[in-house]
Structures are given as structure tokens and as C-alpha cells.
Amino acid sequence: MRSLYNRMQSPSIGVIALPTPIGMVSSGASESRATVILYNGMEKKVKNESLVIIRNKNGGDVLAVCRGGRGLNENVKTGSFNPGVAYARRGRIPSSAKEYYIFNLEVIGAVGEDGIEQNKLIIAPTSIVELFSDEDDPMKLLSKGSDLTIGHYWGKPN
């Protein structure tokens, strides 16, 4: 179900319908890279090479691609012995309370008036990250103001 927030007018993109946000940027982001902490259940929806929009709290929208996803659980962290490791050694399932999923985001560029531009702003931690839906055409962002089609979104020939 889409909320009013997801059909809002973005200053740099215009009116587009994006699905529910998928996560937020973690600490340590730069102008060219970031890490998104996925919201619960989004690990089943977000895939490697997925295109996303980062709603940068420092200003503007940033187009990025998901690369190198990881699942983390502090209870089964290796390197030292802990109760979670003891459970795993015995064939039992440790708690998943400390389990979370992340993706590295490689910045393509900032969404500007004439298309994609170099992103010069640091991406703020806790900035919301949204995944493009099947109805959206992120390729339009690359050739804004032109009738030319640059290509089609990965796996989506329309």
C-alpha cells in the first residue's frame, strides 16, 4: 500500500510513485558511498544491482545502486566464543533479535535539473532510502528534458 509520502513531489524528480522506503543510511557515509540498514523484511525485496534513491537530509536526491549485501547477527559473530556460537555448535538456533541486513550503496550521482550530476554533498546518516518500483523508469533521470531513451532498467525492457 502506498502512502501519501511516497507519491509526493520531489524537487529534483517530480511526481513519481515509489514504494515504501526500504531503509536508512548508516553512519560513515560519504559523497560517493553509503550503507543502508534495511527495514525488517526488506532483505527479501532488495537485490544486488537494485537502483535506489537516497533522500539526502543534507539536500537533494541521490541515485545509487545496491552492491554487496550482508546479513549480520551479533549472536553468531565469530572471533570470540559467545552463547550464540555455543548454540550453533550444538545445532540449535540462536536468537535472531540482533539480526539485521545491510547493502553497500555506490552513488551514481545527484538528481539535478538536467539529469544526473556529480554528487558533492556528504550523504547524511539516517537519510531515507527508497527502491524504484516496476512502474518507475529511473532511466528518465539520466536524460531529463530529452525525448531520447538511454536504455531500460535492469531486467525491465519496458
Q: Helix (H, G, I), strand (E, B), or coil: what is residue 72?
A: strand
| pTM score of the predicted model | 0.78
Query: What's the confidence (pLDDT) of residue 6?
Result: 43
The type of residue at 49 is: E
What is the total residue count of the chain? 158
Query: What's the confidence (pLDDT) of residue 2?
Result: 34
In the chain the domains, ranked by start, together with CATH numbers, are 4-71+102-141 (2.40.10.170)
- Torsion sign, CA atoms 55, 61, 66, 68: negative
- Residue pair 55/61 in contact (Cβ under 8 Å)? The answer is yes
Query: What's the confidence (pLDDT) of residue 75?
Result: 84
pLDDT (tens, 9 = 90+) of the chain, 158 residues, equals 233 334 444 555 555 554 569 999 999 999 999 999 999 999 999 999 999 999 999 999 999 999 999 999 988 888 888 888 888 889 988 888 889 999 999 999 999 888 889 999 999 999 999 998 777 777 777 766 666 655 555 555 55
